[in-house]
Structures are given as C-alpha cells and as structure tokens.
Structure 1
C-alpha cells in the first residue's frame, strides 16, 4: 500500500481550513491528521501526530504573542527531522516571501492560487522539491535587490538577544539562558529591530541572512 502523505492544516480562518479540507479530503494519497486555528494548536498537533507536511497560514496567532506564525515555523524547520511546510499567504512583497524561503519553507502558495496549485505543492515538497505558486513567483521575480540596512547603535544586550533569537530560541528560552525576565527580552528584541529598521519577523530573518547570522 502506498504511504499516504500525512497533512496538518493550520489557519485562523475557519473558511480557509474548510476550503483546504475540501481540496484534500478527496485525494486518496493524502490524509489530514489534524487542523489548528492558531500556532499553539499547531504545536500541540505536531506533538501528538506524525506529520509529513504542514499547510500553514503565516498570519495567525503565534506562541510569543502577535499575529505571526513565522517564528514557530522557523524553529520547526530547525528540528531534525521535521515536516515539510507549505505556507499559505496573501503577502505580495518579494523580500518577505524570500524570507520564508530563507528559513526553509519549500512551498509558498498565494491563497488566490490555492485551488489550482495546493495539491501539486504538497506532492512537490513531499518529494523534496520547491513549489511556488504563480502569484508568488511573480512577486519574487519583481523584487528589487535588498537595500543595504544600516544598524543603529545596538547595545551589547540587544545584540545578544538578537543573535539568540535569529538562531531559533524563543523569548522564554532566551530569558532563561540570560537570566532576565521575558518582558525585558521582548523589549530588547523590539528595540533591536527598531534600530535596525526591521518591521516584521521576515524582515528580521532576511537581515540576519544578509549579514551571515543564518
């Protein structure tokens, strides 16, 4: 019997999960083993179920607060072994989509392309290939070279927090390692990002890649 591709679907919009379920449930080679409405639920499902591919929105509630699943996906993709990730998004900024590729996401699907390409994306990433939907490819092709970012005067502690964070540690883990409060670590992380001119987690990842931290 052919191994079914075990999939977990994560999106904070019920109608999106229902649409993905509709697309996948009729495929004999795919089995949906769980659905999550936020990053915490996704983490719980991954602990409870063997999974080959995670189909996940990136703009849903995260473990560290905020409406961003990227930090969790980044840490997930640092594990060995780890499931493949197909990211669902409405982001059309090329440098942010490039940030997803930089953390190891091998499938990126614009939600407007999902009906036509999601099945192919799951099969492709499961086979070890990269799959980008048409809208995503167009956004990446149109991106200008990344502007040179000039670091502000980060304090030694801000730089320490920044380095640990881009290595994949959570705010809580950094707080424990450095023996500071989680609130202090969060403040230092936000201050470092502000001084570097970084607005989002994907900006942070792209900058860290540019300067060789990841």
Structure 2
C-alpha cells in the first residue's frame, strides 16, 4: 500500500491507517505543533518497537545533522542530488538488515571529526521564525523590533537554534539556510 503526506500530521495519520514496510520522508517536511521539520516526529517514530524502516530523503548535506539522524536510528539517508537508483538500492540494503547512505551522504558524514558531536536538533517555532527572517535579510535588531523583544533575546534564539543544529559559524548557518531553501 502506498500513501502520501504533505506534513508529519498527515504522515502520522497515514501510518495509523496504512500498514507499510518503509517510510520515505524529507526532513524539511513541516512538523507537528509548528515545528520547522520532521525530525521530532522521526525521532518518536524511530523509538517505536514495531515500526517501518525509515529512509530520509534530503538536500541537507551538513555532516553533523546527517550523523545526528543516524544516531536517531534512521535506517537510510539519501541525498536528493544522488541518482534515483539509490531509492531501490536503499530498500534492498535496508531490507537485508543494513543501513544505507547514498554517496553524497556518505561523503558528508565521512568529514565529521570524531570530536564533533552529531546533532539532529528540532528548532522551536520562534527559532525557526528568527532563521526565516534572518534569511530574508533582516538584521537581529530588526527582528527584535518585529517581535517586540530585545536584540539580545533574538541573538540568543539564533545561537540556540544554531547549537541545536550543530552549526558553529555564520557561514554554516547561511549554507544550512540555503540548503533548506530559505536563501
């Protein structure tokens, strides 16, 4: 049986009503309760004793984020830039008890230093909104004015979001925002 979903709420409803062996999910899929991604949902799904195999399909190539997904128990990760044949290869490898990383994902994860922690964080609604406005070109003090908060509060929310995602530099943040389509 095949089912589709536009967000994690629809995905959860489909999983409640449709028996399946595999879930293919983009981590950029809108999360429940205003979450910016499907990571929190995938974390809960991966903890279930009886669950389908989970294959994440993504454009994000940030090594800490990808390694964090593996720590969550995701069975396979496919970079959207890799060949379409990776989908069938992933099903085959995972069906035989393995874990699958497409070539671009394997390359990105191989560059993660051992001392660098893996992170697959979930941004709060406000952290996501700060990132969205920052990506649109607003400065921290402009975002603070918009929300009626201090610049220090907004800067803290920005840093907190970056920490959750394992982003250490402004360059990494800009690259992440580009990969999720905000820049």
Same fold? TM cut 0.5 = yes
2 CA distance for matches of 1:196 and 1:145?
A: 23
1:59 alignment counterpart: 28
Structure 2, unmatched stretches of 5+, are 122-153, 167-183
CA RMSD, 1 decimal: 2.8
1 CA distance for matches of 2:23 and 2:164?
A: 20
Does structure 2 conserve the Cα–Cα contact (< 8 Å) formed by 1:88 and 1:110? yes
Q: Rate the CA distance shift 1:195–1:35 in 2: closer, same or farther, 3 A.
A: closer
2 CA distance for matches of 1:120 and 1:78?
A: 24
1:112 counterpart SS class? coil
1:117 aligned residue (70, 86, 96): 86
Q: Rate the CA distance shift 1:70–1:107 in 2: closer, same or farther, 3 A.
A: same
1:8 alignment counterpart: none
1 CA distance for matches of 2:89 and 2:163?
A: 29
Structure 1, unmatched stretches of 5+, are 1-31, 149-165, 167-190, 204-214
Q: Rate the CA distance shift 1:201–1:195 in 2: closer, same or farther, 3 A.
A: closer
2:162 alignment counterpart: 199
Question: What is the CA-CA distance between 1:37 and the residue it aligns to?
Answer: 1.2
2:113 alignment counterpart: 144
Number of equivalenced pairs: 132
Higher strand share: 1
TM-score (norm 2): 0.64
2 CA distance for matches of 1:128 and 1:70?
A: 23
1:109 counterpart SS class? strand
2:75 aligned residue (106, 109, 117): 106
2:81 counterpart SS class? helix
TM-score (norm 1): 0.55
Higher relative contact order (CA 8 A, sep 6+): 2
Does structure 2 conserve the Cα–Cα contact (< 8 Å) formed by 1:51 and 1:83? yes
Question: What is the CA-CA distance between 1:33 and the residue it aligns to?
Answer: 1.8
